[in-house]
Homo-oligomer: A and B are copies of this chain.
């Protein structure tokens, strides 16, 4: 029996509420001995951690650095090596386009072509308003190539989504993207025979678009990549019998949530707004995915203090979330984005699970941490005396936590268990 078959068999619905908070790119690397999370002032997280189960989770496997797609699939309980989600699908779902089995979704950039060479891969990051004008114009000009229906959707700034709909399409193409400036337009090539038709349509599209946008400098051509067909992922409702909702600001994460059957809730952009949204809909669902993006953005920018500030902002609003008294609360990241690396990384993520029926290891976690944060009021008393320390939620405390190191795709099953939504397997 594979794990999905197991989940289907043992999942039961009940009225317990689960909240999965994902601080994107949470895990970090130490600067002066402490990571972003360890350096941030997080009194509320620290208190919560002292009465929670802690651990470190690998998004995919040790050593593997994930993109957001596989990292979130894993957090939602799916094997990220079983389902591959193309970026195009994520982008399409993110801009609210539903994608079906006959579709190939593609990420597009408007770009600048001068004297036959790409001089800007983002067309000077044109305003999103301009983007919408161009897309509206193109829709009147290009609606079909061969037998493929052409769908065009604006993203932010220079980004757009192209959806081809026809029979016999494939996503096995090379990127139509020279990847650096000073090179000519790059066309797509089919990776196998089955993709020849799609490659032909994609390349005709590039030529048609470039022809139509002749006078639209700097947005006078496009780059296409991330071709993707719809992956057949079973919905969380089927697999886990959950009524699941997503509270996310950025398109990709809304898209990911929709992909596994979550309902995407309307929300404002701040963490405060997101927690208000959670409160408003708390009665209507039994699983909430609350996604905070900016930890990752600052990490990618190499902004250690910026990343800390988002963590501290979340910490500030944590009591409002705790007021709801979720039966199971998880706070974690989808992957690490250490400011020191300015990129996603392979380092395992801090995980905190707070629920009713659990074993904490408060002293051990505190003791481990005590040594690292001695400037935080930590005291290790001498010989024969009790150890009294104030814990700090962070990577090192999690490394000494009772959950140990484990795979992120086990987080959702652990949430289900703690919510008593899994019955016994076998007699």
Contacts and interface: CB of A to CB of B under 8 A. Distances in A.
B402 A399 contact: yes
Interface string A328-352: 0000000000101101111100000
Given A368-B361, A395-B359, A417-B346, A62 B410 contact: yes
Cβ-closest 8 pairs across A and B: A63-B413, A404-B405, A382-B382, A87-B427, A67-B426, A62-B410, A63-B417, A70-B426
Interface in A153-183: none
A404 B65 contact: no
A422 B346 CA distance: 9
Contact of A402 (B66, B396, B403, B426): B396
A326 interface: no
Contacts of A343: 424
A374 B386 contact: yes
Nearest to A71: B426
B427 A61 contact: no
Interface stretch (A1-9, A135-143, A185-193, A216-224): A1-9
21 contacts: A56-B404, A62-B414, A63-B415, A63-B416, A63-B422, A64-B413, A64-B422, A65-B417, A65-B425, A68-B427, A90-B427, A341-B357, A343-B424, A346-B417, A359-B399, A364-B368, A364-B399, A366-B371, A380-B381, A380-B387, A381-B382
Interface in A388-404: 395-396, 399-404
Given A62-B406, A62-B410, A64-B6, A30 B424 contact: no
A85 B426 CA distance: 8
Given A62-B414, A64-B10, A86 B29 contact: no
A25 interface: no
Among A60, A344, A363, A423, the most chain B Cβ lie within 10 Å of the Cβ of: A363
Interface of A: 1-3, 6, 10, 29-30, 35, 56, 60-71, 80-82, 84-87, 90, 226, 338, 340-341, 343-347, 357-361, 363-364, 366-369, 371-372, 374, 379-384, 386-387, 395-396, 399-406, 410, 412-418, 422-427
Contacts of A386: 374
A401 to B, nearest CB: 8
Contacts of A3: 61, 81
A172 to B, nearest CB: 14
Contacts of A400: 361, 364, 368, 400
A364 B379 CA distance: 14
A379 B382 CA distance: 8
